[in-house]
Structure 1
Amino acid sequence: MGARSFSAAARLGLPASWLPALALAAVALGAVAWHRARRRQRRQQVGTVSQVCIYPVKSCMGVQVDAAECTALGLRSGSLRDRFWLVINKEGNMVTARQEPRLVLISLACDGDTLTLSANHMEDLRLPVETPATNALRECRVHGLDVQGRDCGEAAARWITSFLGTRPYRLVHFEPHMRPRSSQQIKNGFPPTDQVAYSDVSPFLVLSEASLADLNSRLEKKVKASNFRPNIVITGCDVFAEDSWNEVLIGDVELKRVMACTRCILTTVDPDTGVMSRKEPLETLKSYRQCDPSQVKLYGKSPLFGQYYALEKPGTVKVGDPVFLLGP
């Protein structure tokens, strides 16, 4: 081992015996960087981002934005975070449009430190984006897993309860220090590092306009992308092309496809009226979007529409960004 290596160890305050391991780590990191650069060189444009959408309150109306930061827990634009607010019942169980379809009629806006909820025949509800630390912590359950939420207060509870008019509900907020849910505990296809706050299973849902158009060509009454609540909508690609994009580059963000999104009765809620038909587009999807028989254990009998992606490299996605398929 040369004098230069001993000098480097001394400057780092490390024993010289550590240098071989450090050198191997540096080589490994260099190899990863080289491989990533090579994959970027072999990229192929497969589409363009046409929509970026954040759903701050689970099951409520989405907020379309021009750009959003891709974080480990989903999209963020300013103070808006994807599925960081949740309606719960008195037992702490999540309440979504599956149980209360009219949730989709609640719209949201964010101005500085204030989150505003609006709905027809209701005065606007204004809440601080950062829920006061003096508010109670609630133990909640989302798809069978425990997760905490900070209670947003009595005014929020009265507003949600009054609008829905069925039973008492409360609104809670997920905070960065709280422990997220493990995606792998919900669906086996996810790596153990993937986590979510109140999202169903994944922080990123990708859908193409071509796939939506193909579905609408089979329906008497057309549906919108908002029936399926995607985060990123892609234009300029073939029908169901998103099903085969294993890794994509959007802006400086790298996403890796994990699995298809199984569809449920929530897709039959009309986002304009809040009425659940319990039939379409779900019945039509069942007729042609079932999984391969070899994947029944993973997907069951639910139809597939849209793809869940995991975050490989954080950054920002923008409307108009080209979508590149990364080579092997």
Structure 2
Amino acid sequence: MPRVSALYRYPLKSAIGERLPAVELDALGVAGDRRWMLVDEASGRFLTQRAFAVMAHLLARWNESGGLRLSAPGLPDLDVPLPSADAELRGVQIWTDMVRVSDAGDAAAEWLSPFIGKRCRLVYMPPERARIVKDALGPEEKVAFPDGFPLLLIGQASLDDLQARVGRPLDMRRFRPNLVVEGAAAFAEDGWTRIRIGDQVFRVAGGCSRCILTTIDPDLGERSTDREPLTTLKTYRERDGQVYFGQNLVHEGRGRIEVGMPVEILD
């Protein structure tokens, strides 16, 4: 039977992720996952490694106050408190969604802007301001700052298949999954529609279309000159002009999942 082999959380969208032995699921997905984001100070549009590969060196971890501790090469750590309920709201754009969320203040902006090379603001998504999941089955399906869905699953065998085709190792971190599953055939996840892990049930919402971010080495923060793995993925994973790798998930409840738990294929 397939089992969970790795779990990841990304406190700040497009910054360094963290590998965890267990995660809690709340109303928006993995608790603490992509609740923070960087936006252009002038336009409010979201910023990611797609345009700012240096974000691959930006580390964000929870601090004791529930806020973030930011770390980056050459800079002193900065603790950012969790914005209060009456914090300034800032209008931001993530893809086609326009939302008003909490601004994390000037200190964070002044620390981050020189590092990424653009005037930016750090914002936080309060649960009550969450976005509706794309193609949601009901209004209760909400998400913070992921591109579209609360969770992303990738099969380890799928990555193994891709590595063999590319001809060199590829770190799973390039693809930024929340769940990695081993013990299933390559791309078996393409055919799943509902799965259970422990007492948690997940709906497989469809394939995840991939972009230039997958070409960035997560350790070096540099794009591959041959555009791998996108170049190879296009030869066998392209459909309707999009390249797919991994499956988006929507969870049906709250609870805990751990590395090593079996993955039951319901449909």
Question: In angstroms, what is the RMSD of aligned CA positions?
Answer: 1.6
Question: What is the DSSP-based 3-state SS (H/G/I as helix, E as strand, rest coil) of the residue aligned with 2:127?
Answer: coil
1:173 pairs with 2:119: no
Determine if the alignment matches structure 1 residue 281 to structure 2 residue 229. Answer: yes
Q: Is the 8 A contact 1:248 1:324 kept in 2?
A: yes
User: Does 2:40 correspond to 1:89?
Assistant: yes
TM-score by length of structure 1 reads 0.77
Q: Is the 8 A contact 2:28 2:127 kept in 1?
A: no
Aligned residues: 263
Structure 1: give runs of 5+ residues left out of the alignment: 1-44
1:246 shift after superposition: 1.5
Superposed CA deviations along residues 132-177 of structure 1, whole A, max 9, x for unmatched, are: 345321000000211122111111101111211x221110011122
Detail structure 1 runs of 4+ shifted over 6 Å in the superposition: none
1:270 maps to amino acid: D
Identity %: 37
Q: How far is the alpha carbon of 1:269 from its aligned partner?
A: 1.2
- 1:149 and 2:101 aligned: yes
Report Cα offsets for 1:38-81 as digits up to 9, x if no partner: xxxxxxx3x111111111110001112221122231101xxxx1
- State TM-score, norm by structure 2: 0.93
For 2:5, which of 50, 60, 76 is the aligned residue? 50
Distance of 1:137 and 1:157 partners within structure 2: 15
Deviation track 1:105-130 (CA, whole Å, cap 9, x = no partner) reads: 112222422521111111111112x2
Aligned counterparts of 1:254 and 1:143: Cα–Cα separation in 2:
28
Aligned residue in 2 for 1:124: 77
Q: Per-residue CA shift, 1:205-264, capped at 9, x if unaligned?
A: 000111011101111442111101000011121111111121111111100111000111
The amino acid of 1:304's aligned partner reads Y
Distance in 1 of aligned mates of 2:149 and 2:217? 23
CA distance in 1, matches of 2:110, 2:170: 32
Query: Does the CA contact (< 8 Å) of 1:68 and 1:318 recur in 2?
Result: yes
* Distance in structure 1 (CA, Å) of the matches to 2:3 and 2:62: 27
Per chain length, whose mean CA-contact separation is higher, i.e. which structure has more relative contact order (CA < 8 Å, sep 6+)? 2
8 A Cα contact 1:88 1:169, kept in partner: yes
* 1:68 corresponding residue in structure 2: 23
Q: Distance in 1 between matches of 2:158 and 2:195?
A: 18
Q: Which has the larger radius of gyration?
A: 1
Structure 1 partner of 2:201: 254
Q: 1:252–1:314: 8 Å Cα contact kept in structure 2?
A: no
Amino acid at match of 1:143: W
- State whether residues 251 and 315 of structure 1, in contact with CA within 8 Å, keep that contact through their aligned partners in structure 2: no
